[in-house]
Amino acid sequence: MSQASNVLLTKSRAMFGKRLTGQNIADLLNCQTVTEVAVYLKNNTHYAYALRNIDDANVHRGQLEAALDELMQSQLTSLAKYRVDAGEYMRTFVVYNMEIREILKYLRLFSAGRASEYVFAIPKYVTGRDGFDPIRLAQAKTYDEFLRAVSGTAFYKILRGMALGDTVDYTMIEHALYSYLFQYAENEINRHFHGSAKEDLLGLLGTRSELNSFLNIYRFKKYYKACGEDVARSLVFDFHYKISKKTFDNMLKAESAEETLDIFRNETVYGRELGTIEDDFIDRMVNRLSYKRVRHLMRFSTDPTVAVFSYLLLSGIERRDIVTIIEGVRYRVSPDQIASMITIQ
């Protein structure tokens, strides 16, 4: 292993060592206001520097989320400098992932008639990025204006093809964007990696896409009380790793969410590993399974690119948990309820 690769591996593991602890999570769950969350993160965690410019007396949820995003971008830049080749693959993947998150964040607000609020949640690192105009995005009042704001991104053709006036099919757009991301990642992994590194990276991608596909089917059947196979099929990612096409077909044909869950439990390696799954906590259990697998690679892989991708995925999970806590505190959800929705314990 080259010196640069060795440094990259060591650096990523050292950064992983600064992750939130169980005690940090418990303390955050006991916060009463968003301001208390911000102050705690600033004074007791590795997020201190990212939150240095946040005004404790006037904290906006969007500002906190933007600061968390900026930290991930700075971490990527820090890691990528040790391996320029691997850095480019990682950088593009992370940029695509973050642009998707920003697009979806805007579309959620747009659908609720609150698009102007997006201006409060713009991460600084995306301001002025070629092809992605967040200021113009915040000013968009129609879907056509939204399209012009994202016209330079890799996702423009996808988004243009899903225009239905100003009606937004959020679920289908989300699926289409992540399908593009998964396909891009799979192509890059097959093109540039070999041996155990390729196997581990495809495993990370495959686990994420398959578990997301299962959750999409399950949610569709549970919350829409529907078993329309064709509609559900459109929410499945075209990537088979540990779950066969036959098993996915069985879940798609299931008459209910409960039957889908039974098939997942009995016919997949993930379900057998999880064992008994309580219906009310299915999202949390599946997310924890994904977290467990990524964390294993973070600790034991000897390939620096695998370690870095693992770290970035784990950082994304941690960020998502913090946002869930912020939302829960904001809407005065009980600590126990918030705890049931997060991955890290």
Nearest CA among 197, 206, 199 for reference residue 86 = 197
Could you tell me which residues are beta bridge partners of residue 164? 167
For the whole model, what pTM was predicted? 0.82
* pLDDT above 60: residue 129: no
- In DSSP notation, 8-74 reads HHHHHHHHHTTSPPHHHHHHHHT--SHHHHHHHHHHHSTTTTTTTT--TTS--HHHHHHHHHHHHHH
State what percent of residues in the chain have pLDDT above 70.
89
Q: Per-residue pLDDT tens for 239-267?
A: 888 999 899 999 998 988 889 999 998 99
Confidence of residue 73 (pLDDT cuts 50, 70, 90): confident
For the chain, which domains are there? 1-54+302-345 (1.10.132), 55-300 (no CATH)
Who has greater pLDDT, 83 or 9? 9
Q: Per-residue pLDDT tens for 316-344?
A: 888 889 989 988 998 999 999 999 889 88
> Which burial class, exposed, middle or buried, applies to 162 when counting CB atoms under 10 A from its CB (0-12, 13-18, 19+)?
middle
* pLDDT above 80: residue 196: yes
What's residue 45's pLDDT? Answer: 92
Give dist(CA 80, CA 17) in Å, integer: 18
* pLDDT above 70: residue 209: yes
Who has greater pLDDT, 130 or 284? 284
What's residue 25's pLDDT? Answer: 95
Of 13-22, 158-167, 181-190, 314-323, which range is least confident?
A: 158-167
The one-character DSSP state at 87 is H
265 HSE (CA, 13 A, CB side): 15
* pLDDT above 80: residue 65: no
Q: Per-residue pLDDT tens for 87-100?
A: 566 678 877 887 89
> Which burial class, exposed, middle or buried, applies to 194 when counting CB atoms under 10 A from its CB (0-12, 13-18, 19+)?
exposed
